[in-house]
Amino acid sequence: MSNTTLPVMRSALEIKQRFERILQYDYLQGYIDNARPDADELWLVYTILTESEPPDRAGAITLAWGFAHAGLLVHDLVSLHNTNEEFAKKKRQLNVLAGDFYSALYYQALARVHAVDMIELFGSTLQEVYEKKIASHLDKDNSFETRLVQTEEIEALLAVAIAKAIGQEGYEPLLRPFFLYKRLEKEKENAKAGCLSPLIEAWTAENRQGSLFKVEQQRQLEQLQEAVGKQDNKASAFIKTFLEKQGGSDSGPIERTTRS
């Protein structure tokens, strides 16, 4: 990663392109599951950081958050490739290595701007995330609602911790439904590929009617709408635009997904 000063980011696309340039490795493109945060996720974190942080530090922390978030998700995907098929085995092994690679990148991004406070924050928060993931994984009998609450907390935990650390704790009501919505988007793509997470399995085990994604993503959009109405800042303006874009979206087919 370059030691040059990060410029002010002008758009979600710009910060996403910067993130992708750092990850230009053929094996990442060819074998690793797409666990990277999208432009909306990166831009929301960056927008919140710029409320209190100078551009260079805000950019570095945003990239670090993106790498850490990708590392967490790619480790989740490892368990979904539990098969003896040779290509899947190789992909599973490389996903494990990619998770470690992302962890190294987040540390490097923070070290470059001497963000010792954030290095400590990331370390303690990621430990908490892993503990919550393990607890959730060990309890096989969790209900769908319990798993949904756990997923919401885990997905937003690092971003919420960052916001609180810079005095922007008021953003938590935006962050939690936003990142749960985004996680459901990823779950939808994984399900289409035949990878069923414990969250989806809990939904189907309870014989719930309708589409998991339509029902729950709509609920998160409604929570975002409510939270936006109580705030007036740069991040809420971005969320308003995001909500407008989701207005005509289709939240996907999956009614009740079952294993073949």
Residue 254 inside a domain? The answer is: no
pLDDT at position 253 is: 36
Least confident range of 3-7, 13-17, 65-69, 159-163? 3-7
- How distant, in Å, are the alpha carbons of 40, 76, 120, 174 from that of 165? 22, 27, 11, 16
pLDDT at position 94 is: 73
Q: Which amino acid is present at 121?
A: L
CA distance 56 to 54: 6
CA distance 219 to 45: 22
CA distance 87 to 76: 18
Residue 3 inside a domain? The answer is: no
DSSP state letters, 184-253? HHHHHHHHHTT---HHHHHHHHTT--S-HHHHHHHHHHHHHHHHHTT--SHHHHHHHHHHHHHTT-----
pLDDT at position 249 is: 45
Q: How many Cβ atoms from other residues are within 10 Å of residue 202's Cβ?
A: 20
CB 230 within 8 A of CB 173: yes
Q: Is the pLDDT of residue 254 over 50?
A: no
**pLDDT 10s digits, 95-139:** 777 778 888 999 999 999 999 999 999 999 999 999 999 888 888
Residue 256 inside a domain? The answer is: no
CB 196 within 8 A of CB 257: yes
Q: Which domain holds residue 136?
A: 12-246
28: nearest Cα among 164, 19, 125: 19
pTM equals: 0.85
pLDDT band at 203 (very low <50, low <70, confident <90, very high): confident
CB 149 within 8 A of CB 199: no
Residue 252 inside a domain? The answer is: no
Residue 5 inside a domain? The answer is: no
Q: Is the pLDDT of residue 160 over 50?
A: yes
Q: What is the CATH number of the domain that holds 78?
A: 1.10.600.10
**pLDDT 10s digits, 210-249:** 777 888 999 999 999 999 999 988 899 999 999 999 874 4
Mean pLDDT on 166-190: 93
If you count DSSP H runs as helices and E runs as strands, how many of each does the chain have, helices first?
11, 0
CA atoms within 13 A on the CB side of 129: 24
> Could you give the number of structural domains in the chain?
1
Instruction: Report helix, strand or coil for 258.
Output: coil
- How distant, in Å, are the alpha carbons of 164, 199, 235 from that of 144? 29, 6, 30
pLDDT at position 192 is: 82
94: nearest Cα among 176, 33, 43, 14: 33
pLDDT at position 46 is: 96
